[in-house]
Structure 1
Amino acid sequence: MKLMINHQTHYQYTEQACNSIQYIKMTPFNNAHQKVHYWDVSVPGERCVKQDAFKNIWITSSQRFAYEQMTIMAQGIIELSPKPFALNMTDHLNPYLFLQPTPTTLCNAEMKEFAHRLVPEINRHNLMKLSEAILQHIPYLPNQTSVKTSAIDAFQDRQGVCQDHSHVFIAMCKALGLPARYVSGYLFVPNTSHLASHAWAEVFLDNTWYCFDTSNQLFSPEAHVYVAVGRDYWDVAPIRGVREKGGIESMHSIVQVLAC
């Protein structure tokens, strides 16, 4: 299956901004699940491309001019494998890096009890039950949380989106002693053209990375496009940056994921 993806992020400022730097992780990579036929990230200013510590493609762009609006656009063609599979460890990263605690993926005592109750024995079936229980505990509710919401906050407030579901699931897996990582990317849903960029989790079990998309209760990545992996959202944030001036910033994004 080939997918055409267009991801536009538009920034508007109430005053002129200048001397800004953007750190962009919006470039999918090749693996056994997907092949990148074409991809381009359009952003004004000077740019350089590197890899971060997790082997994600990392674009640094700098703008040394004044502006009141800016658009960053990523687009391309991705072909997904037709075979359901668990993503074998091919990125040469030590899976135990993903046991490292982060402020966003910590557990409190209630969350640890929740995890151990749902997973009395560590296996994929019980982890799927844990994922289902998390979705029941934290119904999908947009616009109630932010990128600063931690796993503990989302669990206590009982509301969130894919980012929050992933953080809570990762936090509980770490509490169970399992390496778990955050994945950013896109999800193709037939007959739906406008989708927000997506996030899900992977757990390293039996020398294999398994997909756990808690928000959609999907456990095989047939329709998922991988962009970046990390310990939490902050390792894979699509766009982060700093600037001088600019007043109040507003942002909106449009994402299209279409079969082609």
Structure 2
Amino acid sequence: MKLMVNHQTHYSYSAPVQNSIQYIKMIPSTNSHQQVHYWDVSVPGEKETKKDAFSNIWLTSSQREPYSQMTIMAQGVVEMNPKSRYGAMDQLNPNLFLQPTLSTVCSEEMKQFALTYAPRADHEQLIRLAEAVLDYIPYTPHQTSVHTSAIDAFNCRQGVCQDHSHVFIAMCKYLGLPARYVSGYLFVPQTMHLASHAWAEVFLEDAWYCFDVSNQLFTPNSHIYVAVGRDYWDVAPVRGVREKGGLESMNSIVQVLGC
């Protein structure tokens, strides 16, 4: 299956930005799970491409001229491997994804929750845990932010795919299982959580297993991988620093279509 992606992010500022550097992770790689036929990221400024510590493609854009608006546009076509049952493999030591992060700390209540639903921590019980997490934290847009931690989302019992992934990863790491955060795109007809997406993966039996808690999907057939990391901050699509600019507003549009 081939998927076409159109991802546009538009920024507006209340005062001119004098200088800025944007760190962009919106470029998928070809791997055992997917083949990138075409991909382009359009962004103003001087650009440099390299890879980060997790082998994600990292585009840096530096702008020296004043501006009040900026648009970053990513477009491309990716073909999915129909035989793919597991997440994309890499050369990284899975134990790297046991490292604690501020976004994936596990509270005592979360530890007890994990032990209740996955005392053996095998694949079948982790699916049961993923189901329980979604039941406990219903998908609720616009109530959390990128700064919401796993503990915060668990306590307030609401969130989106990012929060579901952080909570599930925190619990899996407590259970002693390497778990990673994946950012990318999703195409599944007739579901409410489409396009730009995040999900968790757990390393079991020498393979990365998909746990898309928000959609209760456990094979990555329709998932385009863009970046992997320990949490959202390792894979954030756009991060940056700027001089001046006043207040910032952002609007993002994402389309994922079969082609």
Q: TM-score, normalised by structure 1?
A: 0.97
Is 1:174 matched up with 2:173? yes
Corresponding residue number in structure 1 for 2:99: 100
Is 1:185 matched up with 2:184? yes
Taking the TM superposition and a 5 Å limit, the aligned residue runs for 1:235-250 are 235-250=234-249
Give, in angstroms, the shift of residue 87 of structure 1: 2.8
Q: Please give the per-residue CA displacement for 1:131-170, whole angstroms capped at 9, x wherever unaligned.
A: 0000000000000000000000000000000000000000
Matched AA of 2:151: I
Matched AA of 1:257: V
Taking the TM superposition and a 5 Å limit, the aligned residue runs for 1:204-215 are 204-215=203-214
Is 1:217 matched up with 2:216? yes
Corresponding residue number in structure 2 for 1:86: 86
| 3-state SS in 2 of match to 1:184 | strand
Aligned partners of 1:255 and 1:69: how far apart in 2? 19
Is the 2:193–2:214 Cα contact (8 Å) retained in structure 1? no
The change in CA–CA distance for 1:192 and 1:205 in structure 2 (over 3 A counts) is closer
Q: Please give the per-residue CA displacement for 1:74-103, whole angstroms capped at 9, x wherever unaligned.
A: 0000000112411363x1000000000000
Is the 1:194–1:257 Cα contact (8 Å) retained in structure 2? no
Off by >3 Å, runs of 4+ in structure 1: 191-196
Matched AA of 2:232: Y
Corresponding residue number in structure 2 for 1:52: 52
Percent of matched pairs sharing the same residue: 71
Corresponding residue number in structure 1 for 2:16: 16
Is the 1:134–1:214 Cα contact (8 Å) retained in structure 2? yes
Aligned partners of 1:86 and 1:34: how far apart in 2? 11
Aligned partners of 1:194 and 1:48: how far apart in 2? 32
Give, in angstroms, the shift of residue 194 of structure 1: 9.6
Q: Please give the per-residue CA displacement for 1:6-53, whole angstroms capped at 9, x wherever unaligned.
A: 000000001101210000000001111110000000000001000000
Aligned partners of 2:2 and 2:42: how far apart in 1? 22
Is the 1:194–1:255 Cα contact (8 Å) retained in structure 2? no
| 3-state SS in 2 of match to 1:168 | helix
Matched AA of 1:26: M
| 3-state SS in 2 of match to 1:87 | coil
Corresponding residue number in structure 2 for 1:258: 257
Corresponding residue number in structure 1 for 2:230: 231
| 3-state SS in 2 of match to 1:227 | strand
Give, in angstroms, the shift of residue 238 of structure 1: 0.1
| 3-state SS in 2 of match to 1:134 | helix
Give, in angstroms, the shift of residue 195 of structure 1: 4.0
The change in CA–CA distance for 1:175 and 1:191 in structure 2 (over 3 A counts) is closer
Q: CA RMSD, aligned part only?
A: 1.4
Corresponding residue number in structure 2 for 1:31: 31
For structure 1, which segment, 150-159 or 182-191, has the greater mean C-alpha deviation from structure 2 after superposition?
A: 182-191
